[in-house]
């Protein structure tokens, strides 16, 4: 946008009412995810990143799940229903009240096109605020234009948009296709939308007809050309996977250009909100779910899975580690192979090297957690927290039954089941007394029932 005020004066209308029957899913299409974010979430976030000041999301009837997702991601967004599916222009008109409230530009986005860049949205909005241009649409050169609406040009002016089913053979030869997004000059938007007729093969009110209507009023329309991948929409699981692949490549490139080393980029998968500092090393076959933040100089070893976790500078994770929601690793902390951490804080320099589960726990700085340690945090009804002080040493194969506190500098003997608090600098041993019976094994083997019969030699 030219200025912040101009950005705030634009309205995004996001169409998210489609049933998505080709997804073959109980979930509405716009709630399926790409890179850890719902499809409708991508539209909301792109509009927000473009500086659009207000958003209205048009959803299908009786879809509280979609409304809930919109509110979760953008509480200030307005949600309206399209109870009858009568075409895209009809869908946009469900936001009539917001459109009539006065905006310099109305940008129409779709809840199933997750690859649209904020820069494209800004370009659309800016175009209709300049000169005689009343409408701007995205267009792309299609490798296979079948099924797409065609953009019909006169020089650089957009004359019309013809849906494939309504196009002539000559028009179907055009490879410049409609990318779907459209911006309308705010002062003209309602008049154009209400003038759309349904004289077409589908008997629907097409948003694309606004182009011809604007030209009939003496205004021009123009095309903002984008790469074909940016116009990719999701109608089935195959297209969902195609969008995932494109977005993952974008995310990998972004992180590498920001100073992250990916040894095998094609094997690493990010969420859209993954934050990674400089000089982080990520080995092959790692997955980052939503809500992950990794500070500089950390190392994420192979086959690790992180979600909702924070990793401080210089910490190491994996290989074969899992950090779940609420996991927080302090500076220089270590989570090793086959360790799972959930809702637990590890202080600076704390080490959990292998074969351990830490759930609902606070681990002090420089504490050492031995192999096979378990924080027993759940009694079948409630979760409880384990607290381990700085510099404590937990011996291998110990079970810490929460709620319990291990004091700073304390030791827990290997194989212990700890049910009571351990004072600082104390030793706790909670296991059965070992009993040794000399010669017992020979007597056991000598029992008649334990004799091994020798097979006769041949």
> Which residues are known catalytic residues?
354
Task: Read off the tokens for 440.
Answer: 């017992």
DSSP-derived pairing of the beta strands 275-276 and 150-154? unpaired
Taking the C-alpha atoms of residue 16 and residue 35, their distance in angstroms, rounded to an integer, is 19
Encode 264-301 in three state secondary structure: CHHHCECCCCCEECCCCEECCCCEECCCCEECCCCEEC
SS3 of residue 94 by DSSP: helix
Pair 207, 189: CB distance under 8 Å: no
The CA radius of gyration of the chain, in Å to the nearest whole number, is 31
The DSSP secondary-structure symbol of 383 reads: B
Least Cα distance to 373 among 387, 391, 352 occurs for 352
What CA–CA distances, in Å, run from 315 to 329, 336, 368? 7, 11, 15
SS3 of residue 129 by DSSP: coil
The DSSP secondary-structure symbol of 378 reads: B
Pair 356, 375: CB distance under 8 Å: no
């Amino acid at each position: 946008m030219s200025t912040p005020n101009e950005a705030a004066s634009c309205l995004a209308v996001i169409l998210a009412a489609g049933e998505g029957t080709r997804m073959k899913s109980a979930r509405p299409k716009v709630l399926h995810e790409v890179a850890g974010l719902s499809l409708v979430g991508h539209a909301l976030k792109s509009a927000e990143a473009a500086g659009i000041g207000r958003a209205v999301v048009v959803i299908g009837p009786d879809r509280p799940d979609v409304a809930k997702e919109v509110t979760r991601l953008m509480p200030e967004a307005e949600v309206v229903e399209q109870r009858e599916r009568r075409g895209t222009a009809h869908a946009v008109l469900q936001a009539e009240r917001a459109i009539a409230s006065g905006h310099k530009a109305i940008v129409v986005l779709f809840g199933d096109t997750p690859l649209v860049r904020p820069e494209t949205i800004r370009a659309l909005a800016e175009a209709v605020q300049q000169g005689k241009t009343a409408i701007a649409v995205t267009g792309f050169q299609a490798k296979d234009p079948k099924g797409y609406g065609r953009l019909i040009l006169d020089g650089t002016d957009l004359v019309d948009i013809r849906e494939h089913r309504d196009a002539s053979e000559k028009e179907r030869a055009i490879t410049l296709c409609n990318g779907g997004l459209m911006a309308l000059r705010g002062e003209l938007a309602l008049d154009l939308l209400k003038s759309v007729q349904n004289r077409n093969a589908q008997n629907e009110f097409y948003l694309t007809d606004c182009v011809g209507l604007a030209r009939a009023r003496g205004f021009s329309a123009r095309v903002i050309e984008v790469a074909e991948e940016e116009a990719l929409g999701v109608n089935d699981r195959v297209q969902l996977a195609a969008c995932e692949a494109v977005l993952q490549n974008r995310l990998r490139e972004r992180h590498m250009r920001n100073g992250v080393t990916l040894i095998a980029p094609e094997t690493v998968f990010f969420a859209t909100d993954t934050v990674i500092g400089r000089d982080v090393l990520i080995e092959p076959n790692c997955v980052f779910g939503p809500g992950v933040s990794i500070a500089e100089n950390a190392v994420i070893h192979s086959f690790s899975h992180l979600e909702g976790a924070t990793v401080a500078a210089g910490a190491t994770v994996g290989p074969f580690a899992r950090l779940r929601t609420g996991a927080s690793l302090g500076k220089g902390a270590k989570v090793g192979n086959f360790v799972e951490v959930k809702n637990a804080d590890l202080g600076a320099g704390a080490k959990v090297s292998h074969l351990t589960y830490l759930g609902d726990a606070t681990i002090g700085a420089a504490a050492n957690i031995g192999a096979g340690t378990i924080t027993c945090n759940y009694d079948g009804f409630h979760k409880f927290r384990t607290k381990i002080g700085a510099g404590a040493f937990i011996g291998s194969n110990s079970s810490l039954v929460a709620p319990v506190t291990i004091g700073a500098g304390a030791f827990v003997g290997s194989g212990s089941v700890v049910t009571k608090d351990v004072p600082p600098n104390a030793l706790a041993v909670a296991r059965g007394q070992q009993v040794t019976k000399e010669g017992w094994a020979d007597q056991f083997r000598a029992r008649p029932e334990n004799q091994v019969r020798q097979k006769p030699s041949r």
